[in-house]
């Protein structure tokens, strides 16, 4: 069954895609931003883009701010016209600033100031050139450079498996053009004035890094893939990553591939531009080994839940065994003392899991179970045991964000039960049996105490793909959901399904698909 509200991916083009007339139809729709751009830049950005007076649109000092503004307006226009706000964002070189803008790292004005300074510094560099080479793989191209004594050149862009861009001194770029053309490869000079994304930009990189110290960046509300690492940005690393990008290789093919491993090319859409990045995605999207499928999923129950919490899930899985990890004090372990400390609970879960991770597996948890499942993954890493092929969490924000239920355990009497009714997790029939109510309250209070005492320790992210699923009537913000991105080196996969906190009870089939890694729309 298709999963609704799939993860959306947006691509922002960079320098080289500028063209006279770009942005037509947008400037009148966003007059406040056009006026703000004029105040920051000191010239009319709309006239520059539409009329290109004096051919300035190919001057880096003007090209980069112009593309930043057009990309930003194009993205907002697409959202205003009903396209979904993207969950994963990639930008090619300059376009990465638009990806960060869309993810909330900074506002439009701040981003424009950064781009203007970047452009000015890059334009200051001279005596360099860039050359696109189509045909040889990166390894073959490296061999040619060595054999032709062209080690003065750097690979500035790895755009596709067969398209790379060289960067370096003009004389050496000219010689490379003749040599590579003579070997039958297609070559094309880029419309730039310097050797961007190479060792020759280190002075500009250092000066830009000093400039960035005057700015503070907000936590990212969406996943942004960095050009230089081909991995998701990490909060706190925005300034360093942006400055490194000036003198570092744009690993575009690697960046796209990192997303394609988890999300199909159909989820991608290019913002503005004329399809250059879309064509690259098609060339990068070659058949690769499918992600490993789990053979079983270990489940961790939500607050008050027991081994039967996800029983219905098993009726919708195909080749997947559902194995419930049971906490003490409930279900088949009802006679054992309840635990109210996260470390103790995870240690107990680990004892049930440790000897059963020999085959590919997944871990799933909802609400409290999501946080415990995450801690379980950390514990597996600490013990050097095989990691799950994926962690699926639902109904909970990233574990670095305090739980919305952290104070529930302090509620007393009717207030406690009234709050549980609001969450929708208490069967009405339960209230007919006082002894069951008493038992259930002890279990719930122990579980909510776990949330109340939960302390998040900063550790390196897991090398485990995380899929997060939420109900569209849950109160989580984008930033709270995106906090899961801090915990994984893989792009975060997000899905939203109709319903409130216990939306899972209406969507077992969709959850089974996501856990199994079944194709979805």
Phi, psi of 110 (to 5 degrees): -60, -45
Contact 246, 97 (CB under 8 A): no
Asked if 255 is an active-site residue, the reply is no
Contact 386, 380 (CB under 8 A): yes
Q: Is 69 exposed, middle or buried (0-12, 13-18, 19+ CB in 10 A)?
A: buried
Given 8, 93, 167, 403, which residue is catalytic?
93
Q: For this structure, is 93 an active site residue? A: yes
294 close to 388: Cβ distance less than 8 angstroms? yes
Nearest to 101 by CA among 69, 77, 79: 69
Closest CA to 157 of 144, 166, 147: 166
Residue 447 CB-density burial (10 A; 0-12 exposed, 13-18 middle, 19+ buried): buried
| Beta strand pairing call for 163-169 and 88-91 | unpaired
Please give the Cα distance from 176 to 427 (Å, whole number): 73
Nearest partner of 395 among 305, 499, 487, 321, judged by Cα = 499
- Angle of helix 95-102 relative to helix 238-247, nearest 10 degrees, comes to 170
Residue 187: strand pairing partners: 133
Q: Which residue, among 508, 507, 429, has the nearest Cα to 472 in the 3D structure?
A: 507
Residues sharing a CB contact under 8 Å with residue 331, sequence separation 6 or more, in sequence order: 306, 307, 308
Which of 290, 354, 297 shows the shortest CA–CA distance to 320?
297
| Angle (deg, nearest 10), helices 31-41 and 108-124 | 40
Contact 125, 195 (CB under 8 A): yes
- How many other β-carbons are positioned within 10 Å of the β-carbon of residue 193? 19
Q: Tell the residue number behind the tokens 């698909």, with chain if given.
A: 513
Q: Taking a C-beta distance cutoff of 8 angstroms, is the pair 71, 102 a contact?
A: no
439 CB neighbour count, 10 Å cutoff: 15
CA–CA separation, 194 and 61 (whole Å): 12
Closest by CA position to 261, among listed 488, 95, 4, 3: 488
3-state secondary structure of 499: coil
Catalytic residue, candidates 74, 92, 167, 197 = 197
Q: Enumerate the β-bridge partners of residue 164.
A: 133, 158
403, 8, 463: which is closest to 223 by C-alpha?
8
- Across 326-388, the runs of DSSP E, i.e. the strands, are 361-366
Catalytic machinery residues: 93, 197
């Amino acid at each position: 069954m298709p999963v609704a509200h799939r993860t959306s991916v947006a691509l922002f083009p960079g320098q080289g895609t500028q063209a006279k007339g770009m942005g037509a139809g947008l400037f009148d729709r966003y007059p406040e931003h056009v006026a703000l751009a004029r105040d920051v830049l000191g010239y009319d950005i709309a006239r520059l883009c539409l009329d290109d007076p004096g051919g300035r649109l190919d001057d880096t000092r003007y090209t980069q701010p112009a593309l930043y503004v057009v990309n930003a307006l194009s993205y907002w226009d697409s959202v205003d016209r009903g396209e979904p706000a993207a969950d994963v964002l990639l930008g090619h070189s300059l376009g990465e600033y638009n990806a960060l803008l869309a993810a909330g790292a900074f506002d439009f004005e701040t981003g424009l100031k950064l781009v203007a300074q970047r452009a000015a510094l890059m334009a200051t560099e001279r005596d360099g050139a860039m050359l696109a080479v189509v045909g040889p793989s990166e390894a073959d191209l490296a061999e040619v450079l060595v054999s032709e004594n062209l080690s003065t050149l750097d690979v500035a862009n790895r755009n596709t498996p067969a398209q790379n861009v060289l960067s370096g001194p003009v004389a050496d770029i000219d010689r490379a053009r003749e040599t590579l053309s003579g070997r039958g490869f297609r070559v094309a000079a880029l419309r730039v004035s310097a050797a961007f994304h190479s060792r020759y930009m280190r002075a500009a990189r250092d000066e830009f890094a000093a400039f960035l110290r005057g700015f503070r960046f907000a936590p990212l509300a969406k996943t942004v893939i960095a050009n230089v690492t081909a991995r998701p940005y990490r909060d706190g690393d925005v300034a360093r990553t942006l400055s490194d990008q000036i003198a570092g290789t744009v690993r575009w093919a690697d960046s796209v591939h990192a997303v394609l491993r988890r999300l199909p090319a159909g989820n991608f859409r290019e913002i503005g531009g004329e399809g250059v990045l879309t064509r690259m995605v098609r060339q990068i999207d070659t058949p690769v080994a499918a992600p490993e499928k789990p053979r079983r999923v270990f489940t961790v129950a939500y607050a008050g839940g027991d081994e039967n919490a996800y029983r219905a899930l098993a009726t919708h899985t195909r080749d997947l065994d559902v194995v419930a990890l049971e906490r003490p004090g409930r279900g088949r372990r009802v006679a054992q003392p309840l635990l109210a400390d996260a470390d103790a609970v995870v240690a107990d879960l680990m004892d049930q899991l440790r000897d059963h991770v020999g085959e590919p597996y997944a871990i799933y948890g909802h609400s409290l179970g999501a946080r415990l499942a995450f801690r379980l993954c950390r514990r597996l890493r600490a013990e050097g045991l095989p990691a799950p092929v994926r962690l699926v969490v639902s109904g909970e924000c990233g574990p670095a964000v305090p739980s919305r239920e952290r104070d529930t355990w302090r509620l007393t009497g009717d207030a406690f039960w009234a709050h549980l009714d609001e969450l929708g997790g208490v069967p009405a029939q339960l209230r007919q049996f006082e002894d069951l109510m008493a038992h259930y309250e002890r279990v719930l209070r122990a579980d909510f105490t776990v949330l109340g005492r939960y302390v998040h320790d900063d550790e390196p992210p897991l090398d485990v793909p995380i899929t997060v699923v939420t109900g569209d009537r849950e109160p989580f913000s984008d930033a709270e959901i995106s906090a899961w991105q801090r915990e994984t080196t893989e792009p975060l996969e997000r899905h939203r399904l109709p319903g409130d906190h216990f939306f899972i009870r209406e969507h077992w089939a969709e959850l089974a698909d996501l856990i199994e890694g079944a194709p979805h729309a």
